[in-house]
Amino acid sequence: MDIGHVLGVIMGILSDPSTYQAMIRISTPLALAAIGGTFCERTGVVNIALEGIMLVGAFAGAVFSYYAQASWGFSEGMAPWVGLIGAVSMGMLFSLLHGVGSIHLRADQVVIGAALNILALGGTGFLTQAIFGVAGASPRVGSFDPVPIPGLVKIPFLGQVLFNHTPIVYMAIVIAIAGQFILFRTPIGLRLRSVGEHPKAADTVGISVYKMRYVGVLISGALGGLAGANLSLEAVSQFSENMTRGRGFIALAANIFGKWTPLGSWLSSLLFGFAESLKLRTQVIDIPPEFILMLPYVLTIVVLAGAMGRAIPPDAIGKPYSKQ
């Protein structure tokens, strides 16, 4: 292997704006699910079910988009928007199961999340065959195309990196910034964080712990469903069985890496997206892709070891609350 040639190829990849465009695109479902996990866990509810919520969202997005065009009379351009609404709605409904079990029944949150992941995997596989008559994958469905932002897309380098994406990618960036502001600069954000830190104190001053925790769980469901819609309506334009392939668990890691903040979760997801982008681009040279994939995990170990400070979760995370 010619080291000089390999280094030249790597430098070419790193200087290519399409590498960073792919990074943002690939990181989008991780970022949306991670931000949803941030809101949920800031209220004190561990959401292991992000994987299942994403899978349900991906399935619902494909089903709603398919029937919107095939049976409900929507145009090709409107069908994916119907799919997006369906994905977000089904994600919230599925997450509601997690909320009832974790908040009102006060069951073990990790066990409930694991059970919902199994339910989502088996249920979407069964329903795919029942609805479409074939096992494993749906037919091709209406999907979103990239929407270049006029003027901005012509900016050298940054134009292609930031301003030539599909709608859900843009949504993820806006949600990360807006989520950071809402969680740390608004009264509702303070209430959400208070029930995850000191639920008894929050209850004492009149904040409904149950209500705030349900809000956090439903937000995670909406964003997890949107993350699933990104996979089925933008990445591959169909649903396939187990198409999330562990992304929900990576999103949990990104949430921790981002220190339970929306903007931190988005930036952490970019790291995983960058590694995946490098893996795809470096297949042309004789470098094992597993070596590239090691990078974010090595950096995570360094961070958690104290290079950037210790990641401290909300104090009441995972602890059911019983109103006295």
Give the dihedral sign, CA 265/159/146/239: negative
Determine the pLDDT at residue 307.
Answer: 42
Sign of CA dihedral 210, 211, 212, 213: positive
Strand partners, 165: 147
Q: Which value, in Å, is the radius of gyration of the alpha carbons in the chain?
A: 20
- How does pLDDT run across 102-142, given as a tens digit for each residue? 999 999 999 999 999 999 999 999 999 999 988 889 999 98
Say whether pLDDT at 47 is over 80. Answer: yes
Cα angle: 99, vertex 263, 292; to 5 degrees: 100
User: What average pLDDT does the segment 143-149 reach?
Assistant: 93
Residue 16 has pLDDT above 90, yes or no: no
Query: What one-character-per-residue DSSP string does 126-172 give?
Result: HHHHHHHSSSSBPPP---PPPEEPTTGGGSTTHHHHHSEE-HHHHHH
CA dist., res. 51 & res. 48, Å (int)? 7
Task: Report the C-alpha gap between 11 and 53 in whole angstroms.
Answer: 38
Task: Specify the amino acid at residue 39.
Answer: F
The answer to whether 13 touches 281, Cβ cutoff 8 Å, is yes
Q: Of 33, 13, 19, 26, whose CA–CA distance to 236 is shortest?
A: 26
What tokens does 267 get? 């930036």
Residue 75 and residue 81: Cα distance in Å, rounded? 10
**SS3 for 205?**
coil
Place of tokens 């104090």: 315
Name the 3-class secondary structure at 240. strand
Would the pLDDT of 39 be above 90? yes
Split at pLDDT 50, 70, 90, the class of 12 is confident
Q: What is the dihedral of CA 114, 266, 167, 19, to 10 degrees?
A: -110
- Cβ atoms of residues 144 and 65 within 8 Å: no
Banded pLDDT at 204 (limits 50, 70, 90): very high
- pTM, full prediction: 0.92
Q: Alpha-carbon distance 57 to 221, whole Å? A: 9
The pLDDT > 70 percentage for the chain reads 88
